[in-house]
A and B are shown apart, each in its own frame.
Chain A
Amino acid sequence: MDDIKINDTVDITDVVCPVTFVKAKVALEELEDGEILSVHMNDGEPVQNVPRSIKEEGHQILKLIDNEDGTYDLLVRKVEE
């Protein structure tokens, strides 16, 4: 996954559902079409639900990285409508 160039990161470990998704969505809005956002999230509810919500918004999910410390990084390519 070294070939994926991350343009921006957002940490959603400091908020709870549904603000987790909102925070990720707002961060994606700041990006240009095709740019990549890394979303730092907690295990449990966020990692169960946030990837699907981002998919349903039409963005492209590339990878979920397990940091093995109870957090995950989700790499998302922004897709403009």
Chain B
Amino acid sequence: MAVDYGTLKKGGFMRQKQKNNFSLRLRVVGGKLTARQLAKIAQVSEEYGDGYVHLTSRQSVEIPFIKLDQIDQVKEALAEGDVEPGVCGPRVRTVTACQGGAICPSGCIDTYALAKELDERYFARELPHKFKFGVTGCQNNCLKAEENDVGVKGGIKVKWRPEQCIQCGVCVKACRAQAITMEDGQIKIDGSRCNYCGRCTKACPADAYEETHGYIVSFGGLFGNSISKGEEIIPFIEDHDKLLKVCDAAIRFFEKNALAGERFKFTLDRVGREELEKAVKEVCENG
């Protein structure tokens, strides 16, 4: 029987140099695995692999040295521990995330919840080429949002509440963008400098900032054979549903315009980034 490597690859089995051996990529969302999943992965790597795993550059786990004739048993065994194979090839890949606002004091959004949502919405969707989402909680950018085809970065838009302010001056110094000044007890925020990092409101001892949590989205990043930084179209997306619509629009654009084997960045270069800008602005304005 001829081996269908395409199907195997789609199901997360990466062909190894060693004949009939595969490195099995697992489905991981936002870098989170439960103890139960880890125990099962350990057991499978002992029984069917070489007793170790490889941690991939995008928060997945691969179990090398899975034998071709044991693939079905391996899948069954993994399923007992709520572990599924991942994907490779031309489709939506692992959605990565930092720990985000649920855990990290710097986080501006719940990155894991969003990664899970994006994974449920898009994971393994067939496209002209690979397509990567990454979600990072704040400007510290631990998850490197801009190296993804679509990168999402959490931010906080602030509005000063004079009635709460104690004029302590902490926010002026906490701001790394020099966007805040205080004169005669009045706080001024320079919107052209503010990068939505949220450091002012996180440092404020008097709850003197009204916070709007939102998303800074970049498009067309890649970090492989070619390297390019994803670029923003809209400075700040305040609404969660709007974010999903923007992601939908980006995927639709890629699906419709990309040539087979062409990464999003190169589609944008060829078709014109302004075409995506139109599509994104359209869903932002008209829903």
* Residues of A near any B CB (own CB < 8 A): 43, 47-49, 51-52, 55-56, 60-64, 66, 72, 74
A51 touches B105 (CB 8 A): no
Collect the chain B residues with CB atoms within 8 Å of residue A49's CB: 174
Residues on B lying within 8 angstroms of A by beta carbon are 105, 166, 168-170, 173-174, 176, 199, 202-205
Q: Complex Cα distance A47/B174, Å?
A: 7
Q: How many A-B residue pairs have CB under 8 A?
A: 38
Of all chain A residues, the one with the shortest Cβ separation from B167 is A63
Q: Is the CB of B203 within 8 A of A55?
A: yes
CB neighbours (8 Å) of B202 from chain A are: 52
Among candidates A52, A56, A62, residue contacting B168 with C-beta atoms closer than 8 Å: A62
Provide 20 A-B residue pairs closer than 8 Å at the C-beta atoms, listed in order of the A residue.
A43-B173, A47-B173, A48-B174, A49-B174, A51-B170, A51-B174, A51-B203, A51-B205, A52-B202, A52-B203, A61-B170, A61-B205, A62-B168, A62-B205, A63-B168, A63-B169, A64-B168, A64-B170, A72-B173, A74-B170
Q: How far is the CB of A43 from chain B (nearest CB, A)?
A: 8
Return the chain A residue nearest B202 by Cβ: A52
Q: In the complex, are the beta carbons of B105 and A61 less than 8 A apart?
A: no
Structural contact, B173 and A61, CB atoms closer than 8 A: no
* Closest chain B residue to A66, Cβ basis: B169
The complex places the Cα of A13 from the Cα of B254 at a distance, in Å, of 54
Q: From known contacts A60-B205, A61-B205, infer whether A48 and B169 are also in contact, taking CB-CB under 8 Å.
A: no
- B-side contacts of A61, CB under 8 Å: 168, 170, 205
B169 contacts across to A, CB distance below 8 A: 63-64, 66
Give complex CA distance A66, B172 in Å.
11
Which of A48, A56, A64, A72 has its CB near the most chain B CB atoms (within 10 A)?
Answer: A64
CB-CB under 8 A from B170, the residues of chain A are 51-52, 61, 64, 74
In the complex with contacts A56-B105, A60-B205, A61-B205, A51-B166 CB distance below 8 A: no
B166 adjacent to A62 (CB under 8 Å): yes
Name the CB-closest residue of B to A76: B205
Alpha-carbon distance between A72 and B174 when the two chains are bound, in angstroms = 13
Bound together, the chains give a CA A76 to CA B204 distance in angstroms of 13
- Given contacts A55-B205, A63-B169, 15 further A-B pairs with CB under 8 A are A43-B173, A48-B173, A48-B199, A51-B203, A52-B174, A55-B203, A61-B168, A61-B205, A62-B168, A62-B205, A63-B166, A63-B168, A64-B173, A72-B173, A74-B170
